[in-house]
Amino acid sequence: MGMQSSSVVVEKEKRLRDKDEKRRVRAEMDDEDRQVVMEKQNHGILDGWKAHMGRAMRMTHRSQRGFDPNCEGYKMNERHGDIFNDNETADSGKGSELQLFSFNVVVAVTKNFSESNMIGKGGFGLVYKGQLPNGQEVAVKRLSMNSGQGIDEFKTEVTLIAKLQHKNLVRLLGCCISGEEKILIYEYLSNKGLDSFIFDQTRSITLDWRKRFNIIVGIARGILYLHEDSRLRIIHRDLKASNILLDDDMNPKISDFGMARIFGGNQTQANTNRVVGTYGYMSPEYAMDGLFSIKSDVFSFGVILLEIISGRRNSYYSDRRSMNLIGHVWELWKGDRILELIDSSMNISTSKGEVLRCIQVGLLCVQEKAIDRPNMSSVIYMLSDERIMPSPKQPAFSFWKENCSDHPQSSTNWIDGCSRNEITITELEARY
Kindly report whether the global pTM for this prediction surpasses the value 0.95: no
**Is 195-425 a domain of CATH 3.90.870.30?**
no
CA distance 115 to 128: 8
SS3 292: strand
Residue pLDDT, tens place only, 210-224:
999 999 999 999 999
- At 208 the pLDDT is 95
Catalytic residue among 82, 238, 256, 343: 238
Q: Which residues pair with residue 137 across a beta bridge?
A: 131
| 247-277 b/e (C-beta count within 10 Å ≥ 16 → b) | eeebbbbbbbbbbbbbbeeeeeeeeeeebbb
Pairing of strands 125-131, 137-143: antiparallel
- At 233 the pLDDT is 83
CA distance 320 to 314: 16
Given this chain, do its domains 30-187 and 195-425 carry the same CATH topology?
A: no
Q: Which helix (H) or strand (E) holds 177?
A: strand 172-178
Please state the length of the chain.
432
Query: Is 248 tagged catalytic?
Result: no
Is 295 annotated as belonging to a binding site? Answer: no
- Name the CATH superfamily housing domain 30-187: Phosphorylase Kinase; domain 1 (3.30.200.20)
Asked whether residue 4 carries a pLDDT value surpassing 80, the answer given is no
pLDDT > 90: percent of the chain: 41
Residue pLDDT, tens place only, 51-106:
554 454 444 444 433 334 334 443 333 333 333 333 332 344 444 567 889 999 99
Ranges of each domain in the chain: 30-187, 195-425
CA distance 161 to 139: 15
pLDDT > 70: percent of the chain: 61
Asked whether residue 36 carries a pLDDT value surpassing 70, the answer given is no
Average pLDDT, the chain: 75
CA distance 10 to 242: 57
More confidently predicted of 366 and 180: 366
